């Protein structure tokens, strides 16, 4: 008999199907008010699927609880031939007992090569995480792993067991790992970092451990582990909202310097405790990433000044292939001197087509604004620009110089702009006569009373097709 594949979004259709013949099932039961009774019926059906090799089970946002989760664990225990499992029980009021029984079931799924597992937004603590880590360590054939256990109650002990389990997954080439918004400190982060060091075949890594209680020691061990992942081409690293300072950032950025094959990097270290010294380490690390085409760098809400930002943007001179750049340096301590360095750095990025540049809430004046404008004018391939220079010390002269230079961006079609001088920009003849801007988004945060006037001015732009004024 030929294998059969089926997708279901209600339980009755599944129960009526020829279960014994199914090798692939896609079950989409998100937000279906599943409780203990429905999970029991699901279990009765799935245990009959003796040939099942691939299972997608989406039970997100139901009311499963620990009893339902335990039944699902029994179900998984019978799926011994699975090679692919996509499993989402996020937001289901599951605590340690339920998590333990789900992962005890996964213990028998030893042939898995692809696992996507989402258990975020529950009530899992260290006991549940301990069983999760042990079971994960038995999945030694995994090459692709998506693991999201964020927004739970996991501390160092649970994180250490998860790290120990992950350290056995040495065949991984693709890893998405989300353990953010828990209660993990240096000890847990250190074990997870050591585990990363065992995953030497990784080419794609999305690692999110932000909003925990990690300090320099934990960050340093994450960096040491990451330094072994030298084959990475795509990296997303989120470590913000922790207690990491310059010393912790230094080791992580040294590791970045070893990732010489990176083409895409998203590095989010917002709202920690780094100053100029840490920023300089970031720049030194980035200077070795010469193959980057996509860079997202979020370093807002820190204490970075002119000296720190100078090293970061100097590194852009080595990133000559950049086409997409998102740079968020808002809410720091950058003045006109720092912006001059930024201008020099951006002037080397001649291939940019998409730029998001947020430098709001710093200490920039007219001279700095003029430098920004000159740099943007050199980015002649830009088609999309999102520029936020609000809440600085920029006057009319600086706004007019930015407008003049933007008119040199002959390919610019989509402009999103936020400034305290929006009216001056829009009154500029350079903007009014601009031949290319078709989509304009103006942000009026803290200025809702200006909406009518700004709309009137913007509608004078000759080629404008669509206007949006954001007052939120």
What pLDDT does 4 receive? 62
The average confidence (pLDDT) of the chain is: 93
More confident residue, 41 or 428: 41
**Which tens digits make up the pLDDT trace of 90-135?**
999 999 999 999 999 998 898 999 999 999 999 999 999 999 999 9
* pLDDT tens-place string over residues 432-454: 777 789 999 998 766 777 788 88
Residue with tokens 């030298």: 230
Residues above pLDDT 70, as percent of the chain: 98
Give per-residue pLDDT as tens, 236-265. 999 999 999 999 999 999 999 999 999 999
Helix (H, G, I), strand (E, B) or coil at 215: coil
Nearest to residue 325, comparing CAs of 364, 352, 291?
A: 352
Q: How confident is the model at residue 42 (pLDDT cuts 50, 70, 90)?
A: very high
Work out the number of other CB atoms within 10 angstroms of the CB of residue 266. Answer: 16
The 10s digit of each residue's pLDDT in 371-410 is: 999 999 989 899 999 999 999 999 999 999 999 998 888 8
Q: Return the SS3 of 52.
A: coil
CA dihedral 234, 238, 243, 249 (to 10 degrees): 20
What's the pLDDT at 3? 52
Question: Is residue 1 pLDDT above 50, yes or no?
Answer: no
Contact yes or no for 400/370 (Cβ under 8 A): no
Segment 353-371 shows an average pLDDT of: 96
Q: Write the DSSP assignment of 248-260 as a string of letters.
A: HHHHHHHHHHH-T
Instruction: Give the containing element (helix H, strand E) for 85.
Output: strand 84-88
What separation, in Å, do the N-terminal and C-terminal C-alpha atoms of the chain show? 60
- The predicted-structure confidence for 146-158, as pLDDT tens digits, reads as follows 999 999 999 999 9
**Cβ proximity of 36 and 63 under 8 Å:** no
Find the mean pLDDT for residues 304-332: 96
Q: Residue 50: pLDDT above 50? A: yes
What number is the average pLDDT over the span 68-97? 95
**Helix 336-347, helix 366-378: angle, nearest 10:** 0
Percent of the chain with pLDDT over 90: 76
Per-residue pLDDT at 317: 87
In the three-class reduction of DSSP (H, G, I as helix; E, B as strand; rest coil), residue 315 is classed as helix
Superfamily of domain 291-472: Ribonuclease Inhibitor (3.80.10.10)
C-alpha neighbours within 13 Å on the C-beta side of residue 73: 22
Residue 13 CB neighbour total at 10 angstroms: 11
DSSP assignments along 338-406, one per residue: HHHHHHHHHHT-TT-SEEEEE--SSB--HHHHHHHHHHHHH-TT-SEEEEE--SSS--HHHHHHHHHHH
* Tens digits of residue pLDDT in 148-206: 999 999 999 999 999 999 999 999 999 999 999 999 999 999 999 999 999 999 999 99
Output the CA torsion sign for 190, 191, 192, 198: positive
H helix or E strand, kind and range, residue 164: helix 156-166
DSSP 100: H
Q: Is 4 in contact with 21 (CB distance < 8 Å)?
A: yes
Q: 7: which 2 tokens?
A: 């997708």
What pLDDT does residue 5 have? 63
């Amino acid at each position: 008999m030929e294998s059969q594949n089926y997708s279901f979004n209600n339980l009755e259709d599944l129960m009526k199907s020829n279960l014994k013949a199914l090798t692939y099932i896609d079950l989409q039961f998100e937000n279906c008010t599943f409780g203990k009774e429905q999970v029991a019926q699901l279990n009765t059906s799935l245990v009959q699927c003796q040939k099942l090799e691939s299972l997608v089970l989406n039970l997100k946002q139901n009311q499963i609880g620990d009893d339902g989760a335990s039944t699902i664990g029994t179900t998984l225990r019978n799926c011994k031939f699975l090679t692919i499992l996509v499993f989402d029980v996020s937001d289901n009021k599951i605590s340690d007992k339920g998590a333990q029984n789900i992962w005890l079931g996964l213990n028998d799924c030893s042939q898995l090569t692809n696992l996507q597992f989402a258990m975020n937004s529950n009530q899992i603590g260290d006991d549940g995480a301990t069983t999760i880590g042990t079971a994960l360590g038995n999945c030694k054939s995994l090459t692709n792993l998506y693991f999201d256990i964020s927004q739970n109650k996991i501390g160092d002990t649970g994180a250490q067991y998860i790290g120990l389990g992950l350290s056995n997954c040495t065949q991984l080439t693709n890893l998405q790992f989300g353990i953010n918004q828990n209660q993990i400190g240096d000890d847990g982060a250190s074990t997870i970092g050591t585990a990363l060091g065992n995953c030497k075949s990784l080419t794609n890594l999305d690692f999110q451990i932000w909003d925990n209680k990690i300090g320099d020691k934990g960050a340093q061990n994450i960096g040491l582990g990451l330094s072994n992942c030298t084959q990475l081409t795509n990296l997303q690293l989120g470590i913000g909202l922790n207690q990491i300072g310059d010393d912790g950032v230094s080791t992580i950025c040294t590791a970045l310097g070893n990732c010489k094959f990176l083409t895409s990097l998203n590095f989010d270290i917002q709202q920690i405790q780094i100053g100029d010294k840490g920023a300089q380490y970031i720049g030194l690390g980035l200077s070795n990433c010469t193959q980057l085409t996509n860079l997202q760098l979020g370093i807002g809400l820190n204490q970075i000044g002119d000296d720190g930002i100078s090293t970061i943007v100097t590194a852009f001179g080595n990133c000559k292939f950049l086409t997409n750049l998102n740079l968020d340096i808002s809410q720091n301590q950058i003045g006109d001197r720092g912006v001059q360095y930024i201008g020099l750095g951006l002037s080397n990025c001649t291939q940019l087509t998409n730029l998001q540049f947020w430098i709001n809430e710093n200490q920039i004046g007219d001279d700095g604004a003029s430098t920004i404008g000159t740099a943007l004018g050199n980015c002649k391939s830009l088609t999309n620009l999102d520029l936020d220079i609000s809440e600085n010390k920029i006057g009319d002269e600086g706004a007019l110089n930015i407008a003049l230079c933007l008119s040199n961006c002959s390919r610019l079609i989509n402009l999103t702009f936020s400034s305290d001088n929006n009216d001056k920009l829009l009154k500029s003849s350079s903007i009014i006569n601009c031949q290319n801007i078709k989509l304009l988004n103006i942000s009026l945060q803290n200025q809702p009373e200006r909406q009518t006037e700004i709309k009137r001015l913007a509608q004078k732009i000759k080629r404008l097709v669509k206007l949006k004024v954001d007052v939120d």
